[in-house]
Amino acid sequence: MQEELETELGGSKSKRMYEIKRKLRRKKVPLVLDDVDDKDKLEKLAGGCDCFGSGSDLATLDEESLDDWECALEEYERTPPERIQDMHDLIQDMGREIVRKEAPKNPGQLSRLWYYVDVIEILTDDLGSDKIEGIMPDPPQRAVVDWSGFAFEKMEWLRILIVRNTSFSYEPKHLPNHLRVLDWEEYDGNKFVSYKKAWLAKQKVITIEYDDWDKSYAKLSSWLTHMQNHSPGSYFQVLHDDFIVGNTVSREHHQFHRFFWTFGQCKEAFKYCKSIIQVDGTHLYGKYRGTLLMATSQDGNGGVLPLAFAVVEGETLTTWSWFLAHLREHVTDKNGICLISDRHASIKSVVANEALGWQPPHGYHVYCVRHIASNFNRKFNNTKQKEMLKKLEKFRELSPAIATWIDRISKEKWTMDYDREGRRYGHMTTNLSECINKVVKDCRTIPITALVKSTYSRCRKYFVECGRQAQRQLNEGQVYCSKLVKELRKNQEQACSHIVRVYDIHSTRFEVEETFNPITQRDGQKWAVNLNGHYCQCRRYSALHYPCSHIIAACGYVNLNYYQYIDVVYTNEHILKAYSPQWWPLGNEAAIPPSNDAWTLIPNPTTIRAKGQPKSTRIRNEMNWVEPSEHRQKCSRCGAEGHNRRCCPMQSERESCSNH
pLDDT at 630: 41
Q: What does the pLDDT average to over 195-205? A: 80
Q: Is this prediction's pTM over 0.75?
A: no
- In 3D space, the residue among 345, 284, 335 whose CA is nearest the CA of residue 309 turns out to be 284
- In 3D space, the residue among 584, 608, 600, 604 whose CA is nearest the CA of residue 219 turns out to be 600
Number of Cβ within a 10 Å radius of residue 256: 22
Rounded Cα distance, 660 and 656, in Å: 6
CA distances for 656 relative to 30, 51, 526, 649, 652, angstroms: 18, 16, 51, 11, 6
CA distances for 501 relative to 536, 549, 561, angstroms: 14, 15, 18
Q: Express each pLDDT in 246-292 by its tens digit.
A: 889 999 999 999 999 999 999 999 999 999 999 999 999 889 999 99
Q: Express each pLDDT in 497-542 by its tens digit.
A: 999 999 999 889 999 999 877 766 667 789 999 999 999 999 999 9
- In 3D space, the residue among 50, 65, 132 whose CA is nearest the CA of residue 99 turns out to be 132
- pLDDT beyond 50 at 417: yes
List the single range of 114-128, 216-230, 643-657 with lowest mean pLDDT.
643-657
pLDDT at 629: 39
Q: Express each pLDDT in 285-336 by its tens digit.
A: 889 999 999 999 999 999 999 999 999 999 999 999 999 999 999 999 999 9
Q: Strand pairing of 112-113 and 57-61?
A: unpaired
Which residues have a Cβ under 8 Å from the Cβ of 133 and sit 6 or more positions away? 111, 112, 157, 158, 159, 160
- pLDDT beyond 60 at 61: no
Rounded Cα distance, 255 and 600, in Å: 8
User: How many percent of the chain have pLDDT more than 70?
Assistant: 76
- In 3D space, the residue among 518, 540, 537, 541 whose CA is nearest the CA of residue 529 turns out to be 537
Helix (H, G, I), strand (E, B) or coil at 62: coil
**Average pLDDT across the chain, whole number:** 83
- pLDDT beyond 90 at 50: no
Q: What does the pLDDT average to over 167-192? A: 78
Highest mean pLDDT among 243-247, 274-278, 625-629: 274-278
* For helices 482-495 and 549-557, angle between their N-to-C axes, nearest 10 degrees: 60
List the single range of 123-132, 490-499, 511-520, 644-653 with lowest mean pLDDT.
644-653
**Cross-strand bridge partners of residue 377:** none
pLDDT higher at 67 or 461: 461
